[in-house]
Amino acid sequence: MMTKNNYKRLGDYIKKVNMRNTDNLDIPLMGLSIQKCFIPSIANTIGTNMTRYKIIERDQFAYGPVTSRNGDKITIALFDDYDKALISQAYIPFKIKDKKELLPKYLMMWFSRPEFDRYARFKSHGSARETFDWDEMCDVELPIPSIEKQRQIVADYQAVENKIKTNEAICEKLEETAQTIYRRWFEEEGEKIRLAEMVSTQYGYTQSASEEKIGPKFLRITDIAKEFIEWSSVPFCEISESNLDKYKLHFGDIIVARTGATAGYGKRIHKQFPESVFASFLVRLIPNDIKWNYFLGLTVDSKEFREFILTNAQGSAQPQANANLLTSYEINRPDEKLILEFNEIMEPIFDFIENKRINNEKLHQLQSLLLGRMTRAEKRTQNI
């Protein structure tokens, strides 16, 4: 078992970087995410003196020393998006002194471990706000095996990471394909079914003479969704066995964000997700019939649905869409035969997506296992 005698002090391998944008370079401005990656900054920099920002270069790190705002995680990431970028003065950038002794990607693997997050939170201090300062970062201890062993560990981890990214890209492409088919069948003129040809007298609807002159009957989401719950009317309380079932999500349910920047974004619950309850900012839609599963899911995942919500949502600080607004969106009504044909095409597509996502869940577990084994990396090297 690995002992502390096998660990090295990180401060002996890293040093702080403090390059300012004194030349006022026109380079990207990046922020840090709690997912431990750099993201494009959305800060309004109009009129801002950009010479005060710090410069970070490829293969350098940056972290946010304030840890009391981030829950259980510390914001830290390895920069490899561009050769150079700007970051906020609030971040602390640093680099590895000698890459022949410590690989940046190996170190990032160590920072990715949940044990590091717990360590950083435990070592954070301060009364108004808790910070994990530079001295504490330097006092971090970790196993640093030979550079050859580090390369092997990184290669194993990246092989899994690349497979996950490949699966995600496949799923994204298939979802785009499904959305394209949905549009061509139910929205675009000149395709298999035109708007005027989608009029149906099923589902309890009888078209009157006046409606025949006006045009096709529209179907609202509430006509095919048997239940929706707006959490603003649900008291904040601990989930108990008596109320758990009412708020559980199941395969085929559709959840839609009703507030904030993501208002109107909807997704269908997938097979591999365990049963869970939905959050306070979501509305749940349950199809009345399994045949509506793919159709309804693709509807709320459409650009038009999100635009409708954002256009009609209320609220000055951020969009607020209640359940009534989310369910007032009108859908062209397809006939049952068309829906059944559509489902035959969608089922193998989404089954393949499900399989890729299940595969990714297992790959994420393998990633966690590889991160956990880092503490035994040096001992394994010594035994070889």
Residues 183, 213, single domain; the answer is yes
Residues with Cβ < 8 Å from 322, sequence gap 6 or more? 230, 232, 258
Residues 99, 224, single domain; the answer is no
Last residue of a domain, one of 144, 170, 192: 144
Residues 107, 153, single domain; the answer is no
- How high is the pLDDT of residue 308? 81
Residues with Cβ < 8 Å from 243, sequence gap 6 or more? 237
> Any idea what the CATH number is for the domain that residue 309 is in?
3.90.220.20
Last residue of a domain, one of 144, 165, 199: 144
Is 284 in contact with 228 (CB distance < 8 Å)?
Answer: yes
- How high is the pLDDT of residue 95? 97
Residues 133, 223, single domain; the answer is no
- Containing structural domain, residue 52: 4-144
Cα 350 to Cα 179, 209, 267, 269, 363: the distances in Å are 12, 40, 13, 12, 20
C-alpha to C-alpha distance for 368 and 363, rounded to whole angstroms: 9
Residues 22, 76, single domain; the answer is yes
Overall number of domains in the chain: 3
Per this entry, what is the length of the chain?
384
Residues 27, 55, single domain; the answer is yes
Q: pLDDT (tens digit, 0 to 9) for every residue of the chain, 384 residues total?
A: 344 557 899 999 999 999 999 999 999 999 998 889 999 988 888 888 899 999 999 999 999 999 887 777 899 999 999 999 999 999 999 999 999 999 999 999 999 999 999 999 999 988 778 899 999 999 999 999 999 999 999 999 999 999 999 999 999 999 999 999 998 888 654 333 332 333 232 223 333 433 343 333 455 566 666 655 554 444 444 445 555 666 677 777 777 777 766 666 777 776 655 566 666 667 777 777 788 888 888 888 888 888 888 888 776 666 677 666 777 777 777 778 888 999 999 999 999 998 998 899 899 999 999 999 888 754 443 333
Q: In what order do the strands lie in the sheet with 14-16?
A: 14-16, 92-96, 61-63, 76-78
User: Which two tokens mark 173?
Assistant: 């492409």
Residue 232, number of CB atoms within 10 A of its CB: 12
C-alpha to C-alpha distance for 344 and 177, rounded to whole angstroms: 15
Residue 363's SS3 state is helix
Residues 327, 373, single domain; the answer is no
Residues 129, 74, single domain; the answer is yes
C-alpha to C-alpha distance for 325 and 19, rounded to whole angstroms: 50
Residues 191, 338, single domain; the answer is yes
Last residue of a domain, one of 144, 164, 196: 144
- How high is the pLDDT of residue 348? 94
Residues 232, 315, single domain; the answer is yes
Residue 98: burial class (beta carbons within 10 Å; 0-12, 13-18, 19+):
exposed
C-alpha to C-alpha distance for 294 and 131, rounded to whole angstroms: 47
Residues 204, 347, single domain; the answer is yes
DSSP letter string, 107-157: HHHHHTSHHHHHHHHHH-B-SSS-B--HHHHHT-EEE---HHHHHHHHHHH
State the pTM of this model.
Answer: 0.75
C-alpha to C-alpha distance for 112 and 107, rounded to whole angstroms: 9
- How high is the pLDDT of residue 261? 63
Residues 51, 182, single domain; the answer is no
Is 200 in contact with 334 (CB distance < 8 Å)?
Answer: yes
Nearest to 144 by CA among 107, 99, 187: 107
Is 312 in contact with 325 (CB distance < 8 Å)?
Answer: yes
